[in-house]
Amino acid sequence: MRILDRYILKSIITMFLGTILLFTFLYMLIDAATHLDDFLANKVPYGIIINYYASFFPVIFVQTSPIACLLSVLFTYSGLNNNNEIIALRASGLNYQKITRPAIMFGLMVTALVFLVNERFAPQAATIAQDIKKGKIEISEKERTQRADKPQPIKYLFFYGLNNKLFFIDEYDPGTKTLNGVTVIGQDGQQRMTDKITAFKAIWTAQGWKFLNCQIARYNPEDQTLTDEIQFFKEKMIDLGESPDDLLKQKLNVTSMNIRQLKVYIKRFKASGAIAALNNLKVDLQQKIAYPFACIVIIFVGLPFALVTGKRKGLTFASVGIALAIGFLFYVVNAVGLALGKGGILPPIAAAWLAPMLFTAAGIYFIKKMF
């Protein structure tokens, strides 16, 4: 690596790390102010508070890395510009590509790092933070002691299962493998109701799920009328196609899944017939793949503004405004693309890659126009 590349790269990395730490501190400060009443009222130990905020770091890193990349690059090159170093570099025969090579290298490295963190650490961190918040921060000291070492019930499970079934469960207790307040709706391929099972309770046994005080109604999918009288059972064994382990997996939401888990989840429920829900999951999957590239894309767009060698007075402070404007526009366009994808207007892959592609095109336009 050339001396010039090391010189620029060192400045960018230092600024990037400082920006990430600043964003982390601001997040912790705002969140601590929000939960201060819970911390004091429930006498939350310092160790739990530290674990809670430490678990958030991978999520904060992933969410703030694009804007941190842009700020660090713009500050570095604006500083070079203010000191006439950009003019010296161009006078020595270096073109735009060679001057910006360290920033592009840095953007690619951070993109790879964000992809790794988002895949390996952020999903687990989000789950841990949520569990700490609900199980140790928002409850009293007495409840915290009582809950120690006991698996906690999961409330309000709703998901699409195998064989075109919709599940609504008021509470699932992993300790006793018991469902409370169960409703299972069967559907045909066109998402029309074919049967409905409701039960006060269901218990997992060696033979499967034993439903207690349940009723079963079967419907004509054409006009949704009952095809027979509603059947009542005090006890009945029913094969749901879902084991207790399958139910525990439903606790995960999309933000708590990595790409591999989300692919498996989509594959598992392809036969559910829930077209809209599956489309949303596919958009989320493509977003997890596309989002890390925001780091390199917005650097690509912002660099031409930092290298303009006209009026340099106040350019360092102007770079903050440029970074915020580019970052804001990127997140807005990205949100619009995802909304269009989940609304069925754009295919999932186009929805997730809309912002990166548009901003890459904008970067090429600005480079050609300014240089």
Instruction: State the Cα–Cα distance between residues 239 and 278, nearest whole angstrom.
Output: 24
- Position 68 scores a pLDDT of 93
Residues 124 and 174 in one domain: no
Residue 199, classed as helix, strand or coil, is strand
Residue at 252 is within a domain: no
Range list of H helices, the chain: 3-41, 46-82, 85-91, 96-120, 122-132, 141-147, 244-249, 259-268, 275-290, 294-306, 315-342, 348-370
Residue at 141 is within a domain: no
Residue at 299 is within a domain: yes
Instruction: State the Cα–Cα distance between residues 183 and 87, nearest whole angstrom.
Output: 71
The pLDDT confidence band at residue 101, using thresholds 50, 70 and 90, is: very high
Residue at 258 is within a domain: no
Chain centroid to Cα 69, Å, comes to: 19
Instruction: State the Cα–Cα distance between residues 293 and 303, nearest whole angstrom.
Output: 16
Between these two residues, 234 and 370, which has the higher pLDDT value? 234
Residues 295 and 236 in one domain: no
- Position 333 scores a pLDDT of 95
Task: With beta carbons less than 8 A apart as the criterion, state whether 126 and 256 touch.
Answer: yes
Residues 109 and 185 in one domain: no
CATH for 176: 2.60.450.10
The pLDDT confidence band at residue 12, using thresholds 50, 70 and 90, is: very high
Neighbours of 295 (CB within 10 A): 25
How many separate domains does the chain show?
A: 2
Domain boundary pick from 181, 216, 241: 241
Residues 8 and 83 in one domain: yes
Determine which of 27-41, 192-206, 239-253 has the lowest per-residue pLDDT on average.
239-253
Residues 7 and 127 in one domain: yes
The 3 state secondary structure assigned to 120-141 is HCHHHHHHHHHHHHHHHHCCCH
Q: Which of 359, 316, 349, 354 is nearest to 334 (CA)?
A: 354
Residues 108 and 184 in one domain: no
- Position 81 scores a pLDDT of 81
Neighbouring residues of 268: CB distance < 8 A, sequence distance ≥ 6: 162
The pLDDT confidence band at residue 317, using thresholds 50, 70 and 90, is: low
Neighbouring residues of 92: CB distance < 8 A, sequence distance ≥ 6: none
Instruction: State the Cα–Cα distance between residues 310 and 81, nearest whole angstrom.
Output: 9
Residue at 140 is within a domain: no
Domain boundary pick from 241, 274, 305: 241
The pLDDT confidence band at residue 38, using thresholds 50, 70 and 90, is: confident
Q: What is the mean pLDDT of residues 143-154?
A: 59
Residue at 275 is within a domain: no
- Which letter does DSSP use for residue 10 in this model? H
Residues 15 and 122 in one domain: yes
- For 155-210, write each residue's pLDDT tens digit: 777 777 777 778 888 888 887 889 999 898 888 777 788 889 999 999 998 888 99
Residues 191 and 84 in one domain: no
Neighbouring residues of 12: CB distance < 8 A, sequence distance ≥ 6: 72, 73, 76, 102, 103, 106
pTM for this prediction: 0.75
User: Tokens 């713009």 map to which residue?
Assistant: 74
Residues 125 and 234 in one domain: no
Residues 171 and 119 in one domain: no
Neighbours of 245 (CB within 10 A): 9
Domain with 232 in it: 163-241
Torsion of CA 33, 37, 41, 43, to 10 degrees: -10
Residue at 139 is within a domain: no
Domain boundary pick from 241, 269, 297: 241
Instruction: State the Cα–Cα distance between residues 224 and 231, nearest whole angstrom.
Output: 17
Residues 178 and 100 in one domain: no
Residues 199 and 293 in one domain: no
Letter for the amino acid at 309?
T
Task: With beta carbons less than 8 A apart as the criterion, state whether 188 and 164 touch.
Answer: yes
**pLDDT at residue 330 greater than cutoff 90:** yes
Residue at 158 is within a domain: no
